[in-house]
């Protein structure tokens, strides 16, 4: 069985466990995100969908599907770029307590890194002590990936050399 089939099977099971199902269009949208090597916007997703499946899909349907997949913890919205990426934890090997996303500003690749329970608890305590309440369990860091940083000078490097 191919990795894609395993991910889609686990995603379908996750939907069933939450009292719903992974419809064909939801599965197709998720499969595009699983194949993508970078975060993609809803409109890029529509273009890829229409190209791959030779069918039109309305923007409103795409957004509803993305919202559903987000609610099922199968997809993450990278808010700093208004783009979407498949969850790295679909295989069931991680938790959804708190993840940090390393988002490459240049090539749009995303690395999802889970944060340990002890760091998560410490983070929550610090938030509580400061009088704030956590509204999103997602940390996004704007970065340059290794490949892009080898070809470009990062804004941080520019800042350090000008100081």
Write the pLDDT tens digit of every residue in 136-157. Answer: 888 899 999 999 998 866 555 5
Rg, Å, the chain Cα set? 18
Global pTM reads: 0.82
What is the dihedral sign for C-alpha 25, 26, 30, 33?
A: positive
Contact status, residue 40 vs residue 33, Cβ threshold 8 Å = yes
Count helices and strands in the chain by DSSP H and E runs = 7, 5
Helix (H, G, I), strand (E, B) or coil at 17: helix
Domains in the chain, CATH or no CATH each: 3-162 (1.10.10.10)
Residue 161 confidence (pLDDT) above 70: no
How far is it, in rounded angstroms, from Cα 71 to Cα 74?
Answer: 8
């Amino acid at each position: 069985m191919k990795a894609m089939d395993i991910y889609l099977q686990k995603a379908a099971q996750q939907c069933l466990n939450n009292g719903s199902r992974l419809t064909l269009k939801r599965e197709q949208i998720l499969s595009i995100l699983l194949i993508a090597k970078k975060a993609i916007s809803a409109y890029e997703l529509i273009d890829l969908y229409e190209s791959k499946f030779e069918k039109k899909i309305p923007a409103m349907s795409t957004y509803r599907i993305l919202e559903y997949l987000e609610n099922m913890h199968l997809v993450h919205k990278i808010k700093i770029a208004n783009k979407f990426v498949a969850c790295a934890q679909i295989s069931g090997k991680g938790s959804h307590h708190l993840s940090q996303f390393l988002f490459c500003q240049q090539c749009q690749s995303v690395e999802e890194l889970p944060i340990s329970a002890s760091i998560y608890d410490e983070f929550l305590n610090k938030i509580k002590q400061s009088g704030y309440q956590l509204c999103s369990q997602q940390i996004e860091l704007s970065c340059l990936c290794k490949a892009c940083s080898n070809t470009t000078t990062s804004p941080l490097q520019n800042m350090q050399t000008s100081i």
